Amino acid sequence: MTTDTKEKEASFELECEGGTIKLGIMAKGSGMIHPNMGTMLCFITTDAQVESSRLKTLLQEATDESFNMVSVDGDTSTNDMVLMLANGLSGVRPEGKDWHVFSQMVKEACRSMAKAIARDGEGASKFLEVKVTGAKDICSARMIARSVCSSNLVKTAIYGQDANWGRIVAAAGYSGASFDPERVDVFLNGLQVASQGRGLQFSEDEALLRLTSKDILIEIKLGDGRGEAVAWGCDLTHRYIDINADYRT
């Protein structure tokens, strides 16, 4: 832990046909967090019997939808990694349905750590979730979700409780993903603020009330396909500057 304010760890158990499999996970990360994982370290252990090649494929899938979908400040570092170790001591080799459930357990463990990192972002006062649906494909959905979640203008608007939907659409637009802006709908904690790429008349008081929540959900519905993705992050506050301006002292 460097600037982390909370320990990040969890444990899971899975009852399989041949016995019980255990899984533990712990992570460190609070600042310099971006889709390249930044200064994030994560260690996963299990007593399942799984070949290294199969475990590597599973870990890549889990990382792509968790740690590579989290951003605190858009900055990265050289010392980031995720490791998964399996010692096989349970004697249980998950297959068929058990393998499917085991895979979901690993992915849920990684998602839980990714969200914990976002919640503990340096100086954060709000947890941000960006959900994109209706993209042309999953790659496009991930690009857009990460772009919006990483935007400093979006993050400062969330801190200021400003329902600035234009910043959200702009961040989606420069993500590099292709979509039709005239089909875009935007929701802030369930309140629709834009439809078909245009702003709606909405109650500013209602928007402010919803944005006072500690958890903020931005939903972007594109209407271009079936691609979906979720990214996690936090707001950008004065406290972030304080932490990093005085980091060495």
Q: Can you tell me the mean pLDDT for 68-75?
A: 89
How many folded domains does the chain comprise? 2
Looking at the fold, whether 153 and 114 belong to one and the same domain comes out as no
Tokens 């990684």 locate to: 110
Task: Give the per-residue pLDDT at 246.
Answer: 82
Domain identity same for 46 and 75: yes
What percent of the chain has a predicted confidence (pLDDT) above 90? 86
Q: Which amino acid type is present at position 192?
A: Q
- Given a contact cutoff of 8 angstroms between Cβ atoms, the answer to whether 122 and 32 are in contact is no
Q: Where are the alpha helices (DSSP H) in 75-130?
A: 97-119
Verify that 88 and 32 share a domain, yes or no. Answer: yes
pLDDT, tens digit (0-9, with 9 covering 90-100), for 22-59: 999 999 988 888 876 667 899 999 999 999 999 999 99
Is residue 110 located within the same domain as residue 134?
no
Last residue of a domain, one of 119, 136, 151: 119
Cα 69 to Cα 8, 64, 103, 139: the distances in Å are: 17, 7, 18, 12
**pLDDT confidence of residue 71:** 92
Q: Are residues 108 and 206 in the same domain?
A: no
In terms of DSSP bridges, do strands 8-16 and 19-28 run parallel, antiparallel, or are they unpaired? antiparallel
pLDDT at 34: 83
Residues 168, 82, single domain; the answer is no
Residue 3: inside a domain, yes or no? no
DSSP secondary structure letter of residue 68:
G
Query: What CATH number does residue 39 fall under?
Result: 3.60.70.12
Domain-terminating residue out of 119, 152, 183:
119
Mean pLDDT of 188-204: 96
Q: In this predicted structure, what is the pLDDT of residue 38?
A: 61
Q: Write out the residue range of the structural domain in which residue 222 sits.
A: 127-245
Count Cα atoms within 13 angstroms, Cβ side, for 59: 19
**What's the one-letter identity of residue 60?**
Q
Shared domain check, 241 and 138:
yes
Q: How confident is the model at residue 21 (pLDDT cuts 50, 70, 90)?
A: very high
For 58, the enclosing helix (H) or strand (E) is: helix 52-64
SS3 114: helix
- Report the SS3 class of residue 148: helix
Statement to judge: residues 176 and 92 lie in one domain: no
Given the residues 39, 46, 133, 237, the one annotated as active site: 39
Let me know whether 88 and 163 are in one domain.
Answer: no
Cα separations in angstroms, 93 against 109, 213, 244: 19, 44, 46
Reading the block at residue 194, the tokens are 């834009």
pLDDT tens-digit series, residues 98-128: 999 999 999 999 999 999 999 999 999 999 9
225 in a structural domain: yes
Lowest mean pLDDT among 33-37, 93-97, 207-211, 237-241: 33-37
Over residues 149-167, the mean pLDDT reads 97
Lowest mean per-residue pLDDT among 36-40, 70-74, 101-105, 239-243? 36-40
**Has 46 been annotated as catalytic?**
no
Which CATH number characterizes residue 218's domain?
Answer: 3.10.20.340
Note the pLDDT of residue 36: 66
**151 & 232 share domain:** yes
